Structure 1
């Protein structure tokens, strides 16, 4: 799938998962994580993202 915003997205993507096939492809990333009951890396700070814990529970717990 071609993404017109791929380069722009890639510059803003903080996903640190090596070899992620969805990096820079926001629509695919959102669909993937939503299907797994998760949030994508961009919802998390860089420090939180490094845990690779994408759960909604983790996200909420970090905002209390």
Structure 2
């Protein structure tokens, strides 16, 4: 398995939750959010991400509304 390129990933991460310890560690981030029935910040546009509602339901509403 390839090494995690945390620095490279972090530079592209759009998560605005500053105390997040998973920034740049996509594997950990995705696993964390899926455990909580959520998707990571990178699945949302800028405005939607800032609500911190990462739920599957919020994502599906945005898709249904054509916002994603």
Instruction: Please report the TM-score for the alignment, with normalisation by the length of structure 2.
Output: 0.85
Tell me the residue number matched to 1:17: 17
Q: Distance in 2 between matches of 1:4 and 1:53?
A: 26
Structure 1 segments, 4+ long, off by >4 Å, are none
Q: Distance in 1 between matches of 2:5 and 2:21?
A: 16
SS in 2 for 1:63: helix
Tell me the residue number matched to 2:5: 5
Tell me the residue number matched to 2:44: 44
Structure 1 alignment gaps of length 5 or more: none
Q: Distance in 2 between matches of 1:10 and 1:28?
A: 13
CA contact (8 A) 2:4 2:25 kept: no
CA RMSD of aligned residues (A): 1.0
Instruction: Please report the TM-score for the alignment, with normalisation by the length of structure 1.
Output: 0.90
